[in-house]
């Protein structure tokens, strides 16, 4: 197993002084689920948003360090951000179906990338909806507006939309925070299949989810990386006192 | 103590209720007055005269078609200018401009919206029309096109400010969703933000058109006031006369109760119906969009 992403001494501060990152260095494994967890305001979402440069559109005061994906520094101003975002897909905390039909939600990204062949699009719709474990629920109503689906279904359509672009890395920012336990289970189940194909970085919405899904886990506290280890070790025998306190529910 | 509080409550609620109902009462009063003064014209003037192409009240020619086409051509021209320009500006302010630019542009646009139309008409006579005459080599610069240009200018702030509010109300998450899929800023605006704000943008267009069709002062000053049927494309570049300008110019010197007087009110009724239609279309578009959203949420 190799490191798909190498984060090298990344620091960042927002203009309003809110959340920030301080000197983060870590490597992220290919074909595994890496979980970033910790209390709110710790910098987990900020780090995710650096990985597909979605932070470009926010007011940032200072940033330094490097993020290497396949050996290339994506923070380089010369990086093709559009191509990067196709390679690094993202699913948000609240499902964001675009104001179109289910089918169009899936094909939109591919059409943007220049794919016009109907057969390719149809094939991608089916393949990605199956991967996201929602094909059976929506296959008969692909032309309905995506907003008409339930929250859990919307979120899996959003996941399918990302998969249709055949990314290499998938970022999930609390993808199940608004979902019921059954939908959450379906999303987590889909992740098990997906990690065979992709590199997955997940910000879970609870410590329990972190423990269930993590191959590797990183504990963030106030913008610093406190501990980074294999999931099994982290959630049974954490090295740091702070990590242990958080996992045991003593704060956060 | 408690008693006086109840009294105050009673008076305040009644006062608020009364001012609410007064809006309905005023609209109804205006409507009945318009009908009472305008409808007699239909029996007093021959249909052949009303539908003729001459508006010459002193010799009993009451052809209102040239006035209607005059209003329509000026409004159409104004809409063709105001809609793309207004929506473009709204998109720029809400989606593209950096924050400091937005903070300068928004109040400026609102200031423009508050400009008295006489001032614009003044500029039209002194600056726009002479230059247009030279530029397009026309016999006169007072044309329908001049009116359209200035009316477009009047409608733009309305369109911009309503459309900008609608775009601003589109959740940021929609845009981030599109960006994360690798959409460029332009693709995001065209395929995601604008469709999501569709009903608001349509309302903006309708309000802008409504503003243009009801405008009087500017068009009276710059369109040349010649009641000529305007059906061909080149009538855009010749003088026309609008319904509003006719009423404003002639109402002051007409004998109360005369045929001419009734006909002017008939024109008022037609204007009223046109702007009613525009408003009904606008609100039904918004209503339909809302109903759809409700159906989806339920």
Residue A205: its pLDDT value, please?
85
* CB contact at 8 A, A158 and A138: no
- Is residue A252 over pLDDT 70? no
Q: Who has greater pLDDT, B288 or B235?
A: B235
A167 lies within 8 A of chain B by CB = no
pLDDT in tens, A132-171: 888 888 889 888 888 888 888 888 888 899 888 889 999 9
B42-297 CATH fold? MetI-like fold (1.10.3720)
- Chain A hits for B174, Cβ within 8 Å: 96, 98-99
Domain count, chain A: 1
Mean pLDDT for the stretch of residues B238-244: 87
pTM for the model: 0.75
Mean pLDDT for the stretch of residues B237-246: 87
* CB contact at 8 A, A42 and A252: no
Closest CA to A74 of A92, A86, A59, A62: A86
Give the pLDDT band of residue B298 (cuts 50, 70, 90): very low
Give the pLDDT band of residue B22 (cuts 50, 70, 90): very high
Are residues B178 and A82, on separate chains, in Cβ contact within 8 Å? Answer: no
- Is residue A236 over pLDDT 70? yes
| Span of B49-53, B103-107, B244-248 with lowest mean pLDDT | B49-53
Residue A70, in any domain of the structure: no
Which strands make up the sheet holding A216-221, listed edge to edge? A88-91, A169-173, A199-203, A33-37, A216-221, A224-230
- The three-state secondary structure class of B76 is helix
Distance of alpha carbon A42 from alpha carbon A251, whole angstroms: 13
Among the partner-chain residues B179, B187, B195, the one whose CB lies closest to the CB of A54 is B179
Residue B280: its pLDDT value, please?
85
For chain A, percent of residues with pLDDT exceeding 90: 13
- Chain A hits for B196, Cβ within 8 Å: 99
Residue B1: its pLDDT value, please?
53
* CB contact at 8 A, B278 and B209: yes
- The three-state secondary structure class of B89 is helix
pLDDT in tens, B184-227: 888 889 888 888 888 889 888 888 888 888 888 888 888 887 87
Q: Which residues constitute the domain of residue A124?
A: 29-54+80-247
Residue A9, in any domain of the structure: no
Are residues A83 and B196, on separate chains, in Cβ contact within 8 Å? Answer: no
* CB contact at 8 A, B152 and B143: no
The chain-wide mean pLDDT, for chain B, equals 85
Q: Which of residues 167-186 of B touch A (CB under 8 A)?
A: 171, 173-174, 176-184
B224 forms beta bridges with B240
pLDDT in tens, A6-46: 998 888 888 776 668 888 899 998 899 999 998 887 888 88
Residue B2: its pLDDT value, please?
59
For chain B, percent of residues with pLDDT exceeding 90: 22
- Is residue A1 over pLDDT 60? no
Distance of alpha carbon B140 from alpha carbon B138, whole angstroms: 5
User: Residue A191 sits in a domain of what CATH number?
Assistant: 3.40.50.300
* CB contact at 8 A, B102 and B270: no
The chain-wide mean pLDDT, for chain A, equals 86
Domain boundaries, chain B: 2-38, 42-297
How deeply is B243 buried, as exposed, middle or buried, from its count of CB atoms within 10 A (0-12, 13-18, 19+)? buried
Q: Which of residues 186-205 of B touch A (CB under 8 A)?
A: 187, 191-192, 195-196
A33 forms beta bridges with A200
Residue A194, in any domain of the structure: yes
Could you identify the residue written with the tokens 């049927």?
B229
User: Which contiguous run of DSSP H or E holds residue B22?
Assistant: helix B2-38
Could you identify the residue written with the tokens 């305040």?
B12
Smallest CA–CA distance, residue A90 to chain B, in Å, is: 6
Residue A13, in any domain of the structure: no
Which tokens sit at B191? 């395929």
Smallest CA–CA distance, residue B229 to chain A, in Å, is: 45
Residue B29: its pLDDT value, please?
94
Residue B297: its pLDDT value, please?
45
| Span of A4-18, A58-72, A87-101, B222-236 with lowest mean pLDDT | B222-236
DSSP assignments along B201-260, one per residue: HHHHHHHHHHHHHH--HHHHHHSB-------SGGGGGS-B--HHHHHHHHGGGSPTTSHH
Smallest CA–CA distance, residue A252 to chain B, in Å, is: 26
C-alpha radius of gyration, chain A, whole number? 18
User: Which contiguous run of DSSP H or E holds residue B160?
Assistant: helix B144-168
């Amino acid at each position: 197993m190799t490191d798909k992403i190498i984060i090298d001494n990344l620091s960042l501060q927002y203009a309003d002084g809110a959340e920030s990152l301080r000197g983060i260095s870590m490597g992220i494994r290919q074909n595994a689920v890496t979980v970033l967890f910790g209390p709110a305001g710790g910098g987990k979402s900020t780090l995710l948003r650096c990985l597909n440069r979605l932070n470009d559109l926010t007011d940032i005061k200072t940033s330094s360090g490097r993020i290497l994906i396949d050996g290339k520094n994506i923070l380089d101003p010369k990086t093709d951000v559009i191509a990067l975002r196709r390679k690094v897909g993202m699913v948000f905390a609240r499902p964001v179906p675009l104001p179109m039909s289910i089918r169009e939600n899936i094909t939109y990204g591919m059409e943007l990338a220049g794919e016009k062949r109907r057969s390719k699009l149809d094939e991608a719709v089916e393949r990605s909806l199956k991967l996201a474990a929602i094909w059976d629920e929506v296959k008969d109503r692909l032309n309905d507006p995506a907003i008409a689906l339930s929250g859990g279904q919307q979120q899996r359509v959003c996941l399918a939309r990302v998969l249709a672009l055949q990314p290499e890395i998938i970022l999930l920012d609390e993808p199940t925070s608004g979902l019921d336990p059954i939908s959450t289970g379906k999303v987590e189940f889909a992740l098990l299949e997906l990690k065979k194909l992709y590199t997955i970085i997940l910000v879970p919405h609870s410590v329990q989810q972190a423990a269930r899904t993590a191959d590797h886990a990183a504990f963030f506290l106030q913008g610093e990386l406190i501990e980074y280890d294999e999931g099994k070790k982290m959630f049974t025998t954490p090295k740091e006192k702070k990590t242990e306190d958080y996992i045991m529910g003593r704060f956060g | 103590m408690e008693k006086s509080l109840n009294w105050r409550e009673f008076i305040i609620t009644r006062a608020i209720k009364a001012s609410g109902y007064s809006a309905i009462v005023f609209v109804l009063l205006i409507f009945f007055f318009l009908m009472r003064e305008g409808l007699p014209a239909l029996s007093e003037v021959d249909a052949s005269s009303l539908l003729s192409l001459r508006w010459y009240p002193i010799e009993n020619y009451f052809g209102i078609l040239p006035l209607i086409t005059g209003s329509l051509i000026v409004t159409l021209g104004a809409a063709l200018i105001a809609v793309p320009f207004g929506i473009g500006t709204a998109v720029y302010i809400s989606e593209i401009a950096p924050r400091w630019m937005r903070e300068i542009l928004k109040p400026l646009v609102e200031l423009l919206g508050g400009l008295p139309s006489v001032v614009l008409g003044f500029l039209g006579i002194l600056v726009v029309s002479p230059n247009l005459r030279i530029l397009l080599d026309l016999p006169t610069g007072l044309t329908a096109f001049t009116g359209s240009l200035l009316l477009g200018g009047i409608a733009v702030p309305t369109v911009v400010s309503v459309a900008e509010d609608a775009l601003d109300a589109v959740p940021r998450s929609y845009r981030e969703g599109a960006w994360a899929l690798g959409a460029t800023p332009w693709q995001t605006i065209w395929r995601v933000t604008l469709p999501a704000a569709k009903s608001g943008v349509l309302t903006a267009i309708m309000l802008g058109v409504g503003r243009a069709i009801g405008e009087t002062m500017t068009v009276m000053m710059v369109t040349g006031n010649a009641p000529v049927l305007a059906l061909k494309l080149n009538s855009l570049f010749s003088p026309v006369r609008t319904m509003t300008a006719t009423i404003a110019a002639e109402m002051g010197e007409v004998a109360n109760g005369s045929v001419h007087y009734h006909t002017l009110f008939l024109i008022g009724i037609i204007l009223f119906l046109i702007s009613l239609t525009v408003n009904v279309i606008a609100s039904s578009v918004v209503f339909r969009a809302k109903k759809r959203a409700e159906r989806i949420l339920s």
